[in-house]
Structure 1
Amino acid sequence: MDTMQVRSSERLDVDKLHAFLESYFTELPQGKLEIAQFSAGHSNLTYCLKIADFEAVLRRPPLGPVAKKAHDMKREFTILSALHPFLPSVPKPYVYVEDRDIIGSDFFLMERKKGIVLDTHFPKGTEPTEELARQLSELMVDSLVALHAIPYQDTPLKDIVKPDGFLERQVYGWIERYENAKTAEHAEVAMLTEWLKNNLPSNHEATIIHYDYKLNNAMFSEDYTEIIGLFDWEMATVGDPLADVGVAMSYWMQADDPKMLLYALGEPPVTVLPGFYTRQQFIDRYAEKSGRDVSAIHYYCTFAYFKLAVICQQIYYRYVQGQTQDDRFAQMDKMVAALIQQASQSI
């Protein structure tokens, strides 16, 4: 996973952090603390900490005001702690730190995993054959099926989740979030939100869901035969597993998608290349492997496009309000428009 020099506005206090690491890790090697920042992700800030041969990953909330209940570091740490014993691709969590004097916020540390993360390109030396594309598609489906098979009642998550009424809360909650972060009028939104309210499926099954499941949140082994890392668990909860599939499909682009959707934030992901599953193939394999009825998946995909539009709108709102100076967010309104259009055209 690519790291870069820490953005000037998002630097950490090296001395205080080094002192904490020395107090917590009993066999920490001698040496200078080096901090790099992971370039991916638009939400929580993620850093690589390195002292000699010691490495760990630090997660903290973004700078500036954040939405209520969002970016909850303690909750994400609890989720990792619950899931790691069942799914080794979940990073091993080390410690949650509430003390805000160290870096200016709470944070947690977890293991550093090393492998291949795919986004818009394959690394040099990898030939993206159709066979490899199919293999990666299958791994992505099967990993999601495995996550949904974990018995959440046997984990600490049973005490922090409310699966009853999950989807209805989600739909109404994301509609409210959109209204609170609106910066422009989109004519399609009124019809879209009414349709979402009036066509709620009646599925009551609940499983652990990642809820941000996408290719660049997965890490593959060097030979691409297994997923060795799954990241960004801040949205994970217990709820309707088909909502998780819908979210995965909102990220899973295919070559015949509208150009506005494909290129709104730059180059499209590698899933547009020959051999990668279409969304329908992904859904079909999920149904086969999980045994679930996916006849209502159309609703979940439509809602997922709207939900993703709201997430992008919240990020863009923070940028417009001057709460973040990250230039990556300046064009985020184009992605909002593309996603709303994609959702509207599917109803």
Structure 2
Amino acid sequence: MSTEVNDDQAELAPVRAGEMLDWDRLESYLREQLPDLEGDFSVLQFPRGSANLTYQVTFGDRQLVVRRPPFGTIAAGAHDMAREYKVLSQLHTEFPRAPRALLHCADESVIGAEFFVNEYREGIVVWDRVPDSMSGFDNAGERIGLAVIDALADLHEVDPGKAGLSDLGRPEGYLDRQLRGWQRRWAAVEPEVDSPETAAVMREVAARLVKGQPRSQRSGIVHNDYKIDNCQFRPGDPDRVTAVFDWDMATTGDTLSDLGTLLNYWPDSTLDPDSDAAFIAVPGMHGLGLPPRAAVIDRYGRSSSLDLSDIAWYEALGCWKTSVILQQLYARYVRGQTTDARMGERGALIPPLARRALGLLS
């Protein structure tokens, strides 16, 4: 099995130590289930993701993507491979930016966990800088940002029934379940939190979210982790998102929760960079030249008839949920369930993000 990496493939790298799978078993299983696979088998890893383990497997000149949950204890309802497969096997018919899923395996004996396989799409993911192929465009960062917002607005226009996903979730009571479920997730990892003060802020945010919960206006497909680095572009084209990734938390519910999540990740040059109000979970994005949050809300509002006056509550919800996710990743590192050193740095991001959530609710 070859694990060479092309230097031009910035999104791919040799598989990290400690994240190897039973490649022989995987190869045999895939050749059996997808009989049109021919040629030599090789594996690379998409190394920049934080949670699910994602690999590019190649058979000759055909490339596929294999996704499985991370090693270690998994929070209830998290890293749901069956859900992600269900979404991606259907959604592409109504939302072409969703890569098509090809195969789901519930047999954990193959690679040690449930997993699924989807088509590989070649393109560029924007991380902490404008890609070289787009750097010559005027206002490239602003155009990237607007394209990300437009793709989200398009997703929220999809009729779940037409996409075969009317049974994906239970829209009624969505926000109630979100609040209860994420409180349970926090409780499961709070023992590993770095300070009692942070734990207290997180509990206070939860209480204020419950008290100030708005009435949901419309239900639709919710990605539940929508952000710039879950979007893919063609090289040289900053104006259209061509693919959206990471659908394992997707459901049907209050679509404004997705806009709140996106705002939670969004840097804003109009704010004091040293304030909690400006803090985001991926600080490297500040140099992208994205439009400010007010422009994000305005752009989304042009495609939506929804009242956006409560959007600060949804952004606080996004900050709080992201803090829980970061604590889950940090707890896995503290417990020795991952060898990825990046996870050990996640704990430091939680206090300012939690304080930002509290500020949005004040």
Question: In structure 2, what is the equivalent of residue 219 of structure 1?
Answer: 232
8 Å CA contact 1:172–1:197 kept in 2: the answer is no
> Can you list the C-alpha shifts for 1:21-57, whole angstroms capped at 9, x where unaligned?
22123332222x1111101211111000012201000
Q: How much has 1:264 moved relative to structure 2?
A: 8.1
Equivalents in 1 of 2:236, 2:25: separation in Å?
39
Alignment of 1:59 onto 2:67 = yes
Question: In structure 1, what is the equivalent of residue 5 of structure 2?
Answer: none
Question: In structure 1, what is the equivalent of residue 28 of structure 2?
Answer: 19
Alignment of 1:101 onto 2:101 = no
Question: In structure 1, what is the equivalent of residue 4 of structure 2?
Answer: none
**Farther-moved stretch of structure 1 (131-140 vs 283-292):** 131-140
Q: How much has 1:100 moved relative to structure 2?
A: 2.0
Question: In structure 1, what is the equivalent of residue 284 of structure 2?
Answer: 268
Q: How do 1:1-347 and structure 2 match up within 5 A?
A: 2-31=11-40, 33-127=41-135, 129-182=137-190, 183=193, 184-185=195-196, 186=198, 187-224=200-237, 225-255=239-269, 256=271, 258-259=273-274, 268-269=284-285, 272-274=287-289, 276-347=290-361
8 Å CA contact 1:208–1:236 kept in 2: the answer is yes
Moved over 6 A (4+): 260-266
Cα 1:179/1:130, change in 2 over 3 Å: farther
8 Å CA contact 2:329–2:346 kept in 1: the answer is yes
Equivalents in 2 of 1:54, 1:153: separation in Å?
32
Equivalents in 1 of 2:345, 2:121: separation in Å?
31
8 Å CA contact 1:99–1:105 kept in 2: the answer is yes
**Farther-moved stretch of structure 1 (119-128 vs 300-309):** 119-128
Q: How much has 1:210 moved relative to structure 2?
A: 0.8
Equivalents in 1 of 2:232, 2:107: separation in Å?
31
Equivalents in 1 of 2:306, 2:217: separation in Å?
12
8 Å CA contact 1:49–1:56 kept in 2: the answer is yes
RMSD of aligned Cα (Å): 2.0
Q: Give the aligned residue type for 1:208.
A: I
Equivalents in 2 of 1:17, 1:293: separation in Å?
49
Equivalents in 1 of 2:314, 2:281: separation in Å?
23
Q: Which runs of 5+ in 1 are unaligned?
A: none
**Farther-moved stretch of structure 1 (317-326 vs 231-240):** 317-326
Q: How much has 1:117 moved relative to structure 2?
A: 0.7
Equivalents in 1 of 2:119, 2:281: separation in Å?
30
| Matched positions, count | 344
> Can you list the C-alpha shifts for 1:161-199, whole angstroms capped at 9, x where unaligned?
111111121123212321221123224334322211111
Cα 1:118/1:101, change in 2 over 3 Å: same
8 Å CA contact 1:145–1:290 kept in 2: the answer is yes
Secondary structure in structure 2 of the residue aligned to 1:156 = coil
Q: Give the aligned residue type for 2:58.
A: K
Identity %: 33
Equivalents in 2 of 1:124, 1:304: separation in Å?
31
Equivalents in 1 of 2:150, 2:327: separation in Å?
31
Q: How much has 1:320 moved relative to structure 2?
A: 1.1
Secondary structure in structure 2 of the residue aligned to 1:157 = coil
Cα 1:8/1:263, change in 2 over 3 Å: farther
> Can you list the C-alpha shifts for 1:88-109, whole angstroms capped at 9, x where unaligned?
1111111101222221112111
Q: Give the aligned residue type for 2:176.
A: E
Secondary structure in structure 1 of the residue aligned to 2:18 = helix
Cα 1:257/1:96, change in 2 over 3 Å: farther
Q: Give the aligned residue type for 1:335.
A: L
8 Å CA contact 2:219–2:252 kept in 1: the answer is yes
8 Å CA contact 1:17–1:103 kept in 2: the answer is yes
Taking structure 2 as the reference length, the TM-score comes to 0.89
Cα 1:62/1:257, change in 2 over 3 Å: farther
Q: Give the aligned residue type for 1:299.
A: W
Taking structure 1 as the reference length, the TM-score comes to 0.93
Q: Give the aligned residue type for 2:52.
A: N
Q: How much has 1:272 moved relative to structure 2?
A: 4.2
Equivalents in 2 of 1:8, 1:273: separation in Å?
31
